[in-house]
């Protein structure tokens, strides 16, 4: 298999960045196909920590091509900040190793301002948005008034697009008691960054077709997590894009065979509001947070923590078509005497083997657990399946049996090479 899709199968923060970076050693091209700079990836390479939001994880590896696809909403100012940070650390970024889709929609300063303003108006009913303008930018995309990266190449056409955009936004801002935006101010903001952005802008659809014809290994990197999918996640506490496998084809402009690899954390975390059946609000959740350093890469917010929810993962495995899994952060559970695995729910006196789409029912879901014995020894740095304690192997096998697909790789520390490989995913 020349192409692999890597998806997070929980609420994000599953450790996809490390896994994509590890697999990038075998890949030629890595593609982001949805989301924006609300998605944070942390890479640890030779004890050096790299925090990425927009740039595909392969950008720190020489000789790889990173592509930001049309399904991504792109904040140029955030991108430049990220590029500058990496450049200062010796990472070379140029059109030779980074391409941006000419039909990718831009996030503008007005989007982030609107995002934050509307979130504040929600009061106690906040969605938990990062306030970076992701949602409003996707709204403009669907409303057919967004500005594409390629529009910056034609100044006269750009002025028309800005006029169309502001006819909507200024009416909205007037209703929200926000100051109106002058066309020339926005035009100048955009043209100030045009010279820097446009060298990266190209038809990534044609580029991907070229790589596919050459039978190059292409890795598609998902952002956020499958449980934040706008259609299949815990709506309305979701992101503004589709995060499942189908988005690869529309969000990258690509069609071809691809194996789907799902990334799961050995426990469950969530940032922001929304249902979380296996959340632990006591000492166990706090212990997981401290050991796992569970704080948002982008926002710094504390992540909510709880036991592994196998029911939700099985549900998403079936939706995503995942052929195998990667289990991350297994070492975080080293010190637990007993470990719970969520295998169902009780909702209003009735048993469920899936999480219903109704928010009211989701909020009433109480987990049904299966308990296994912990291994009580350090797994950090383990790279050999035969050296895992029996109890750790049992925990993995229980998950495999319940979820219904094998676990191909197991991460035992934040370091890039601390991974147990049971099967090469490019050989699927």
Q: Which position among 21, 37, 41, 169 bears the catalytic label?
A: 41
Does the CA dihedral 373-376-382-384 come out positive or negative?
Answer: negative
Residue in the block written with tokens 């529309």 = 250
Residue closest to 9 by CA, chosen among 277, 244, 196: 244
Write out the two tokens for 48.
Answer: 């050096």
334 in active site:
no
Identify the active-site residue in 13, 21, 115, 229: 13
CA distance 286 to 275: 18
239/234 Cα distance (integer angstroms) = 10
* 169 tagged catalytic: no
Alpha carbon of 41 to those of 197, 250, 310, 317, 327: distances in Å? 22, 23, 24, 22, 16
Would you tell me how many other CB atoms lie within 10 Å of the CB of residue 272? 18
Residues involved in catalysis: 13, 41
């Amino acid at each position: 298999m020349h192409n692999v899709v890597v998806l997070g199968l929980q609420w994000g923060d599953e450790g996809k960045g490390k896994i994509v970076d590890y697999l990038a050693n075998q890949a030629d091209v890595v593609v982001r196909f949805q989301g924006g700079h609300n998605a944070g990836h942390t890479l640890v390479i030779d004890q050096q920590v790299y925090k990425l939001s927009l740039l595909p994880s392969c950008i720190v590896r020489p000789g790889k091509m990173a592509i930001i696809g049309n399904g991504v909403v792109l904040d140029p100012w955030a991108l430049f900040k990220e590029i500058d940070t990496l450049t200062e650390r010796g990472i070379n970024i140029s059109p030779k190793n980074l391409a941006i889709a000419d039909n990718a929609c831009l996030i503008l300063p007005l989007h982030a301002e609107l995002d934050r303003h509307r979130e504040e108006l929600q009061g106690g009913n906040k969605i938990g948005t990062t306030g970076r303008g992701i949602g409003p930018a996707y709204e403009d995309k669907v409303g057919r008034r967004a500005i594409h990266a390629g529009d910056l190449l034609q100044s006269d056409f750009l002025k028309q697009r800005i006029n169309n955009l502001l006819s909507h936004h200024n009416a909205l801002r007037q209703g929200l008691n926000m100051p109106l935006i002058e066309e020339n101010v926005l035009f100048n903001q955009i043209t100030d960054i045009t010279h820097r952005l446009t060298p990266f802008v190209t038809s990534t659809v044609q580029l991907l077709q070229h790589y596919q014809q050459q039978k190059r290994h292409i890795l598609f990197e998902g952002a956020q997590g499958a449980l934040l999918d706008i259609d299949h996640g815990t709506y309305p506490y979701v992101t503004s894009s589709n995060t499942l496998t189908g988005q690869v084809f529309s969000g990258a402009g690509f069609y071809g065979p691809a194996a789907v690899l799902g990334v799961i954390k050995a426990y469950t975390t969530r940032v922001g509001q929304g249902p979380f059946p296996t959340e632990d609000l006591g000492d166990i959740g706090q212990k997981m947070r401290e050991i796992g350093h569970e704080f948002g890469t982008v926002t710094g917010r504390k992540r909510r923590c709880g036991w592994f929810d196998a029911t939700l993962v099985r549900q998403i495995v079936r939706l995503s078509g995942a052929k195998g899994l990667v289990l991350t952060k297994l070492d975080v559970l080293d010190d637990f005497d007993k470990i719970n695995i969520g295998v169902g729910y009780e909702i209003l006196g009735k048993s469920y083997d899936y999480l219903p789409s109704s928010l009211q029912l989701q909020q009433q879901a109480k987990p049904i657990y299966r308990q296994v014995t912990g291994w009580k020894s350090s797994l950090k740095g383990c790279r050999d399946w035969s050296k895992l304690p029996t109890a750790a192997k049992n925990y993995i096998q229980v998950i495999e049996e319940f979820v219904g697909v094998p676990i191909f790789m197991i991460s035992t520390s934040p370091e890039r090479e601390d991974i147990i490989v049971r099967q090469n995913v490019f050989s699927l």
